[in-house]
Structure 1
């Protein structure tokens, strides 16, 4: 009945399986008479009946059948052996071993492959140990790649009974480093993922990072090493931040985020690497570390930042991000120190260099009031001092000074008045611009013009400054500071000696000369002045018209 098709065959198979081992001889006799589908039904029924006689018969037919039937036989044999208890598997083990006799045929190694697959079905300490030993031998490089692949697949099917012994760990490492990824390394990795290694043994996996050529192995090792806070582990992972494969770079970065003791290796990479992507990744990792840990490297970061900045090396930005994330004050102090030294020096390029340093702080919002003063002065010293309104509006130095006037007017006037590095043309430029403004800005401009007149009376710009002051202050400028001193003195007592009278005469003569020279008027072309000056002149003329 089992040789018939349809529902009759299905029913017959169920009945025969229920009968048990006593039906095995009849099934064996029917096997040779059956067609392809009848044989498949007999194979399935025998695997369900199970037992040594049934398995022995199926193993024998495995050598004789076609490849398609062999696949069905192998699947049913695996089910049969897996369903046995270790005691029942013991007499079957030698039968499976027979499939591995002799050398495999390179053209058709299926019998050896089948034997290796079935060895992975054995359980129990003794049988599983014997099976693992055989399977490990077939993973050697002397065997065909297909043989090695299925040997490793069967070996790692027993992962529940595998232990991370030193011998087995060495075996795994050897296979993980094998150049054949498809047949060896990937299957070794599958088994390795199922094994728990203590931390002390995981540290030894670092050596695989340089030995194994497979990125999947590297990524898994990064996962194993994550959280083991040791500098040597970080030092081994850091080079992979520049790996050509994106997934490796990402995995290395994630592992390093949890190894805070690796800051020394990371900082060294930050200093030495010329790859901007690597330095960005390092900065991203360093931001995850405690503030106390990062602060230890702050001074070194500031020094390296300024060195790269002075070389016009774009890598300085990586250190800038690090410094800003910790504390910008040391950078500010170092920059101010350099600026003061340059300002007091005699270098021809000092103002350009001061501007560059202060621009660094200005662009990154780290500049203070003192820094803004240095920045403004350096910009003014380099300015073309063009009095054209459009040119003055675009002058950053004037804009910076405007903010300083509002912040600390008196302090700024005092500081700028005693600054020996500011020249008469700078005072005139500042006075000319700000005197046309209102309120405090206008007062600042007038103070600059007055300072020019008082401090540099012989400078050629002094007369133009006086005229600018007259435009804004009117007749107040024409009154001489010494006018009161020139009033005739009250007559003294007649008892004074003639010698004293002569001295007074000489003094009055000297004062008359000074008065004459100070009231000398010079006509200056002030066409460069703006509408504010013209309005001032118009205001003077209106009363005369009335």
Structure 2
């Protein structure tokens, strides 16, 4: 007995381990000889999955044609490993097995049908692919979908010539189905396969199905999904984008979501942004939110323009926040945002725009900066509200220019309206560009508007005295400034002198002496003299 014969003999052993070992060795040796195929085929009826898998793998190596009657039943085996091994074994026979599979398909049930489709997909080649495609017509929807999924790997590994032949086969099938009003499941599966071909030549066919409002939703959905594969390396045309946008607006929410996710997967251009504008404000916030996020990821001036438009036009906080998140921090969005802020009259909307714009305010063009500042100053000078958003952005863009402008505005207003001037100086003094001279100017205004009540409680809340005290601590010559301030009277100097005398600060005595010196016989001079006397006592 030959060595191969001895190994074949082990397939009849009572020990499962020996049977498995024998099957593995025969497969590795690609053994030929009497009884090899028959012995391996016999083990397939053992019902032991592990043994069946190794026997099937061995048959795929040594030749499985004669064992097909025993292999076919295992294609629908519940054990996944056995089923996959049986599929490989059938495919190993080559194109000779295609007629046999086609014959079996005529009487196969759903489970067996899926198994036979998987075998054809595993086999590959023109005849197998043709049989699989033609078989879609008599498959139920689930089986047709499974067949399409099964063939994907074969298509992926196919060369250019094979792909072209596959494309022709699928288009012939679809033409035939159109003429006889074929089953939606079969058409949907064929359209899915069109996508797997990853060929831009499929686009016209996919467009036709995607735009066909009379087609079954499953067919339109598969056509829309197929664009993801067909355009994986290319940008979509305007026709494709328009088709997807139209589908995204459809009443069918599932179809709409599929269209949106397809749009999100494609390499869209700036032109796409404008087409998405309508969906960005769609009543269904889920759709709008997806588009707003997509626009944010797209970037570019066109996308920024749409996001800005949503931001300034919507009254719904959800839409505004989504648009703001998409546009925040993007330099290309700065011109559109700045222009929108300049034109904003609604305070809430202006604040939303300012919040988004401030981190990139320094990127605003000089001309727009100037306009924003002028608008803020105009409103501020008239005593109007709603200047804050414009001023904050202008300040972030150019703090020095804003400080100079506020300083000049306060100077002009002091001659006309001290209250307005005080507001402007208060804003200026909150900036890090404010000088001690600015702070003194504010203190002077506050003092001129003070009721000059010398009672402790009143003085404790006097803003002018607080500012002057802070200036003293910083080494500012308060006495000199007060003495030469033409906007102040001796009554003002007496009030400040009284306060600082109470605090035992030298400034108090110096100011009271100034009042005595310049007051002559005036009542305020006598009051100053009396206060000095009390302080010395």
Shorter-chain TM-score bucket reads 0.5 to 0.7
1:259 Cα deviation (Å)?
A: 5.1
Equivalent residue number for residue 378 of structure 2: 307
- Gap change, CA 1:431 and 1:68, over 3 Å in 2: closer
In the alignment, does 2:504 pair up with 1:471? no
SS at match of 1:63: helix
Contact 2:241 / 2:272 at 8 angstroms: preserved in 1?
Answer: no
Equivalent residue number for residue 449 of structure 1: 512
Correspondent of 1:111 among 183, 186, 210:
186
Task: Please show how residues 61-140 of structure 1 align to structure 2 within 5 Å.
Answer: 61-76=135-150, 85-86=162-163, 88-89=165-166, 92-93=169-170, 95-102=172-179, 104=181, 109-122=184-197, 129=201, 131-140=202-211
Equivalent residue number for residue 118 of structure 2: 44
Deviations for 1:96-151, whole angstroms, at most 9, x for unmatched residues? Answer: 2355223647xx62222223223334477xxx62x433222112244323322222
1:20 Cα deviation (Å)?
A: 2.1
- Gap change, CA 1:104 and 1:396, over 3 Å in 2: same
Equivalent residue number for residue 154 of structure 1: 226
Contact 2:337 / 2:353 at 8 angstroms: preserved in 1?
Answer: no
1:30 Cα deviation (Å)?
A: 4.5
Aligned equivalents of 1:42 and 1:122: distance in 2? 22
- Gap change, CA 1:14 and 1:138, over 3 Å in 2: closer
1:338 Cα deviation (Å)?
A: 4.5
TM-score, structure 1 as length reference:
0.67
- Gap change, CA 1:203 and 1:101, over 3 Å in 2: closer
Equivalent residue number for residue 327 of structure 2: 252
**Unaligned regions of 5+ residues in structure 2, if any?**
1-69
1:379 Cα deviation (Å)?
A: 2.5
In the alignment, does 2:311 pair up with 1:241? yes
1:384 Cα deviation (Å)?
A: 3.2
In the alignment, does 2:417 pair up with 1:417? no
1:282 Cα deviation (Å)?
A: 4.3
Aligned equivalents of 1:217 and 1:419: distance in 2? 62
In the alignment, does 2:344 pair up with 1:281? no
Correspondent of 2:294 among 220, 225, 230:
220
SS at match of 1:383: coil
Aligned equivalents of 2:89 and 2:406: distance in 1? 95
In the alignment, does 2:499 pair up with 1:430? no
1:37 Cα deviation (Å)?
A: 4.7
TM-score, structure 2 as length reference:
0.68
SS at match of 2:138: coil
Aligned equivalents of 1:340 and 1:59: distance in 2? 86
Aligned equivalents of 1:406 and 1:34: distance in 2? 98
Equivalent residue number for residue 360 of structure 1: 427
- Gap change, CA 1:403 and 1:150, over 3 Å in 2: closer
Deviations for 1:9-30, whole angstroms, at most 9, x for unmatched residues? Answer: 8776554432222233444444
Deviations for 1:236-288, whole angstroms, at most 9, x for unmatched residues? Answer: 54323345423332112344x24565575255256776425423334324335
- Gap change, CA 1:93 and 1:402, over 3 Å in 2: closer
- Gap change, CA 1:315 and 1:28, over 3 Å in 2: same
User: Which structure's CA Rg is the greater one?
Assistant: 1
Correspondent of 2:446 among 375, 379, 393:
379
SS at match of 1:384: coil
SS at match of 1:435: helix
- Gap change, CA 1:132 and 1:422, over 3 Å in 2: closer
* CA RMSD of superposed structures (Å): 4.0
Deviations for 1:403-454, whole angstroms, at most 9, x for unmatched residues? Answer: 4456667x6444433544433432332232223444xx33x32333333333
Contact 1:47 / 1:55 at 8 angstroms: preserved in 2?
Answer: yes
Equivalent residue number for residue 92 of structure 2: 18
Contact 1:138 / 1:147 at 8 angstroms: preserved in 2?
Answer: yes
1:304 Cα deviation (Å)?
A: 2.6
Contact 2:210 / 2:243 at 8 angstroms: preserved in 1?
Answer: no
Aligned equivalents of 2:406 and 2:229: distance in 1? 65
**Unaligned regions of 5+ residues in structure 1, if any?**
474-535, 537-546
- Gap change, CA 1:35 and 1:277, over 3 Å in 2: same
Deviations for 1:207-232, whole angstroms, at most 9, x for unmatched residues? Answer: 32434455334543454443x6xxx7
Correspondent of 1:169 among 225, 238, 247:
238
- Gap change, CA 1:206 and 1:452, over 3 Å in 2: same
Deviations for 1:345-394, whole angstroms, at most 9, x for unmatched residues? Answer: 5xxxx443443333222334544333333322332333333333343333
SS at match of 1:422: coil
Contact 1:136 / 1:151 at 8 angstroms: preserved in 2?
Answer: yes
Aligned equivalents of 1:387 and 1:123: distance in 2? 88
